Amino acid sequence: MFDPKKFAVTKAKPLPLYLLLDVSSSMEGDKIDNLNQAMRDLINSLSGEEKIEIEILISIITFGSQANLHFSPTSASKVEFSNLTANGMTSMGAALKMAKDMIEDKKITPSRAYRPTIVLVSDGQPNDNWKKPLDDFINSGRSQKCDRIAMAIGRDADESVLNQFILGTEHKLFYASDAKGLHKFFQYVTMSVTTRTKSTNANEIPKDSDLDISKTKPTIVVSNNTEDNNDW
């Protein structure tokens, strides 16, 4: 006789993606328009990559005059993106603190989740209290174990701060001077995340050299290590 209790429904493991996006007044015009389009393309691409085993959870934190949670962790296939608007200063420190609080909170980023990917995009210099939040993010707690990717938009971006953010990773700092560069970067982010969904160990981070966005399909990083470690 069929016993439904003997058959457990597989629950998808979350792969969190946190996007920290500069929406200060210097992003007005083409920059914010290009960022909005790139975000839509990224979300559309990732929504088609979710699997029974893996759920891509997208969170968007914007920073202008203050840090705002534009989108709390939501499955890529369920994200209804609304356009970002640019105004105010560059509260990067507040955004880093908000992201860290969410990563450290196991109700928001559970231990069963795969290692989160954190993306930081900025076209200027932080003008709030950013040094301690940045140091805490990359040197303590669960956030230090996250994959961290950063992009500088234009010549006015503070490269030293963005390079500190990716310290300890194997990533280079990406640059964008126009819409093409911005879209290429988000294609890279998409490929980095989707490569992990196809790997035997989604906690393993693909190297920049393993990803070629000029190809239709990325090189797949395969690991024999399938151990399910908590907190990465």
| 116, part of any domain | yes
| 184, part of any domain | yes
| 34, part of any domain | yes
Q: Rounded to the nearest 10 degrees, what angle do helices 92-104 and 131-139 cross at?
A: 30
- Sorted by sequence, the CB contacts under 8 Å of residue 194 that are 6+ apart come out as 45, 46, 49, 218
| 72, part of any domain | yes
Total domains present in the chain = 1
| CATH number assigned to the domain comprising residue 118 | 3.40.50.410
Q: Which residues span the domain enclosing 64?
A: 12-210
| 47, part of any domain | yes
| 217, part of any domain | no
Report pLDDT digits (tens) over 126-168.
Answer: 999 999 999 999 999 999 999 999 999 998 999 999 999 999 9
| 3, part of any domain | no
Query: What tokens were used for 27?
Result: 């992003």
Helices and strands (H, E) in the chain, number of each type: 5, 6
Residue 220 has pLDDT above 80, yes or no: no
Determine how many CB atoms are found less than 10 A away from the CB of residue 29.
9
Average pLDDT for residues 17-46, to the nearest whole number?
Answer: 96
**Short-list 76, 118, 125, 124, CA closest to 96:** 118
| 29, part of any domain | yes
pLDDT averaged over every residue in the chain: 88
Please answer whether residues 55 and 13 qualify as being in contact, where contact means their C-beta atoms are separated by less than 8 angstroms: yes
Determine how many CB atoms are found less than 10 A away from the CB of residue 31.
21
Greatest mean pLDDT among 15-29, 43-57, 189-203 lies in 15-29
